[in-house]
Structure 1
């Protein structure tokens, strides 16, 4: 029995698909399948029921996988302990990040961080908040970058920055005529939203004073997406409006844009972006350096804010 074999069965349990588990484990599917088969032969049990789609663990398989998670967790602790007293930052650092932050934040600090700490291997994975917190609990991630409070005792949080919401409005939308938006202007029935499960969607709905109807009366299109870039393109085709996180405006050429950015007047709605982690002491040196680099690289206007209208 090896730690590699244990990591493979945990991966299959997570993705419920051998090919996907192999891809995420950076091995070929035959290699992963062969190692799991060897482990099953060694233990004399069947860990996965391969006759079902998606694949599921057997009853004994579930118990073995839970123990495997604990053994992998402890092995990572040993690796981390060996690095605690090392003055030079090095080692693998696994980061989960939500989709409405990743494409806008990562370009700001990645180069400067890797230049300063070339021996730290950053491994990013984009995922929804619920999955991210689950993987933090299982110790499969070192930190997560999120935009909602966790309210879980095992999670520690570090404040990074406060990001305003910005309106992106099509040319024929009534709000395009306003120079500044107010939260009272927002009507959820005429606003493109992300799919359920995205915290940015929930925060947008909380901001809206007018409730969302089943469908807009003004459009014969109803559409929700898991990608903010898709919603931006709908607005640029002269359909409605959406809200964007402030850092997304860095990727919009305002001279050539086919829609209008509209900022909010006071009180400006914002979300708090946080760094979350589950181990209070391990890899603390990398966590501190990582958080500090992000704070240094975001615009000054995101660093200090009146918290009176932070949307959770």
Structure 2
């Protein structure tokens, strides 16, 4: 009896979580069902795959090798499904899109109308995730494509959508808030910069800016959203560093927002539409880039 795809999925969940209970919750089955499937898999292969103990579950050498191969198999299966969904060059059916939370809410609403007109049979399934999670789930075949920074992903192809600069938003009493025009890197010296948590490309960029300018990265507060960072800055917790797509969108809604451009090459990021270099959807995905790029340009042309 051969291992089933479901059994492979269960074993990968154990590898990722290290516990039967957590693995069962991840794949949305009961723990006894998952345990029974793993035991059946071991019996059919004639080898122990998981070492069970009170501390959790640890893969044996055979289990580690099987997980490595199972990840590849499941990714190929997802690509096979994608071929069936997108049998033609034009986009139709359900497309699983992962997107940075610092991009999605400010880009996708501007693009949906154009996307629907161009691809009326397309249905986007969108999920926001950190950079590191986008990469993991793209490589595992859980996303067909992602919107992220290509520098953070290997074994991919991409279409650049836009390049955006970074702005600072300071408390009303801070000199940075009172001035006008671009902020120089040296103006950030000694300031506490607010950022998102680890695993975000924006976090890495802001840490580079802090190191180059003599600023500090706040250890007291790491935001979960750009809105949260901006609000904390307005309350005096530090200086918010915001990408231009967000900053310009908010400036239109909030006339009292004083966001000032950081005038330095480090204060920039390039955002792309990204897919696996083995993806069968490459030709279709290239057609998706145009409307997304046009939507970003509508906002960024006002810089």
When normalised by structure 2's length, the TM-score is: 0.78
**Structure 1 vs Structure 2 CA RMSD:** 3.5
Map of 2:77 onto structure 1: 75
Map of 2:182 onto structure 1: 181
2:189 corresponds to 1:211: no
1:304 positional shift: 11
Map of 2:170 onto structure 1: 169
Map of 1:263 onto structure 2: 260
Looking at structure 2, the residues matched to 195 and 131 of structure 1 have their Cα atoms a distance apart, in angstroms, of: 13
Once the two structures are superposed, the pairs formed by residues 99-138 of structure 1 within 5 Å of their partners are: 99-110=101-112, 112-113=114-115, 117=119, 119-138=121-140
Seen in structure 2, the aligned counterparts of structure 1 residues 111 and 49 have a Cα distance that, compared at 3 Å, is farther
State whether residues 168 and 240 of structure 2, in contact with CA within 8 Å, keep that contact through their aligned partners in structure 1.
yes
State whether residues 191 and 240 of structure 1, in contact with CA within 8 Å, keep that contact through their aligned partners in structure 2.
yes
Q: 1:195 aligns with which of 189, 194, 197?
A: 197
Looking at structure 2, the residues matched to 284 and 236 of structure 1 have their Cα atoms a distance apart, in angstroms, of: 43
Looking at structure 2, the residues matched to 83 and 3 of structure 1 have their Cα atoms a distance apart, in angstroms, of: 20
Give aligned pairs, total: 295
1:50 positional shift: 4.4
State whether residues 188 and 205 of structure 1, in contact with CA within 8 Å, keep that contact through their aligned partners in structure 2.
no
Map of 1:4 onto structure 2: 6
Map of 2:242 onto structure 1: 244
Map of 2:144 onto structure 1: 142
Q: Which runs of 5+ in 2 are unaligned?
A: none
Map of 2:282 onto structure 1: 284
1:147 positional shift: 2.5
When normalised by structure 1's length, the TM-score is: 0.76
Secondary structure of residue in 2 paired with 1:141: coil
Looking at structure 2, the residues matched to 32 and 115 of structure 1 have their Cα atoms a distance apart, in angstroms, of: 44
1:159 positional shift: 0.4
Map of 1:224 onto structure 2: 222
State whether residues 161 and 304 of structure 1, in contact with CA within 8 Å, keep that contact through their aligned partners in structure 2.
no
1:70 positional shift: 2.2
1:54 positional shift: 5.7
More strand by share: 2
Looking at structure 2, the residues matched to 299 and 241 of structure 1 have their Cα atoms a distance apart, in angstroms, of: 27
Map of 1:308 onto structure 2: none
Q: 1:63 aligns with which of 65, 73, 77?
A: 65
More helix by share: 2
Looking at structure 2, the residues matched to 88 and 232 of structure 1 have their Cα atoms a distance apart, in angstroms, of: 40
Map of 2:232 onto structure 1: 234
Map of 2:53 onto structure 1: 51
* 166-175 vs 10-19, greater mean Cα deviation: 10-19
1:52 positional shift: 5.4
State whether residues 204 and 243 of structure 1, in contact with CA within 8 Å, keep that contact through their aligned partners in structure 2.
yes
